[in-house]
Amino acid sequence: MTADGKITTRTFAPVDFTSREDKAHLIRQRALADAVLIGYGTLKRDNVRLGIPREELREERIARKQTPYPLRVIVSNEGKIDPTLNIFQTDFAPIVIFSTTRMPRRYQTALRKKATVHLSESTSVDLAWMLQQLRREYKVRSVACEGGAQLFRALLERDLVDQLNLTIAPFLFGGRDAPTLTGLSKQFLPASVRCSLKAVRVVGDELFATYRILHR
């Protein structure tokens, strides 16, 4: 995020305002997890594949008895996930979609060719249930969530976050309509979330902080 807490601009366009070191840091965090989780808003806009480009990180995973790439998990309530996105054109790691029966039939048919689709009967995905499914069905013990804001906020509301890796980039964007880490919602979180600062690193003009989230 920027020094004033913004994660993108008001257009939600993919903006590149962090360094190569930050991008390498993101990949290193992704490479530690059994699964990487992303909200459909971020997937749609950033069109990411969620891979691990560095071979040595994949080798470290294998040495830790993990699969070479983390499982790729997409979450969407509405389910109108574009099957032509880049992620669906790659098969280096399985893709799992958690959505609801709101997903239109034609999307279900197209997406089931590329991913495992879990649809719940409710209007929104129960994130705690989703994590239980990942644990039970896919043996996932650690999840790296790469946002976006709406998904991160929903996880915080359910007290499902253990750690926050935060990079503060040397920019100020301003603007009420540019989302912060927890999005644009005017609502307070159900309770303020207490964090404990575990580590801090400075590289150039960027600050890399690791917070442990103290559970309620």
Ligand X SMILES: NC(=O)c1ccc[n+]([C@@H]2O[C@H](COP(=O)([O-])OP(=O)(O)OC[C@H]3O[C@@H](n4cnc5c(N)ncnc54)[C@H](OP(=O)(O)O)[C@@H]3O)[C@@H](O)[C@H]2O)c1
Nearer to ligand X, 66 or 209 (CB): 209
Nearer to ligand X, 41 or 51 (CB): 41
Start-to-end CA span in the chain (Å): 25
If binding is defined by CB under 6 A, does position 7 make contact with ligand X?
A: yes
Angle between helices 55-63 and 20-32 (to 10 degrees): 20
Q: Pick the binder of ligand X from 108, 116, 124, 163 (CB under 6 A).
A: 124
209 token code pair: 């902080």
If binding is defined by CB under 6 A, does position 154 make contact with ligand X?
A: yes
> Closest approach of Cβ 94 to ligand X, in Å?
19
Cα–Cα distance measured from residue 39 to residue 48, given in angstroms and rounded to the nearest whole number: 11
Residue 87 carries which DSSP code? G
If binding is defined by CB under 6 A, does position 150 make contact with ligand X?
A: yes
Binders of ligand X among residues 50 to 79 (CB under 6 A) are 75-78
Q: Pick the binder of ligand X from 45, 49, 135, 212 (CB under 6 A).
A: 45
If binding is defined by CB under 6 A, does position 22 make contact with ligand X?
A: no
Cα–Cα distance measured from residue 9 to residue 28, given in angstroms and rounded to the nearest whole number: 25
If binding is defined by CB under 6 A, does position 182 make contact with ligand X?
A: no
CB contact at 8 A, 179 and 8: yes
Strand, coil or helix: 27? helix
> Closest approach of Cβ 40 to ligand X, in Å?
4
Cα–Cα distance measured from residue 54 to residue 56, given in angstroms and rounded to the nearest whole number: 6
3 token code pair: 């020094």
Q: Pick the binder of ligand X from 34, 148, 168, 178 (CB under 6 A).
A: 148
Q: Which residues form the interface with ligand X (CB under 6 A)?
A: 7-8, 12, 14, 39-42, 45-46, 75-78, 124-125, 127, 146-151, 154, 179, 183
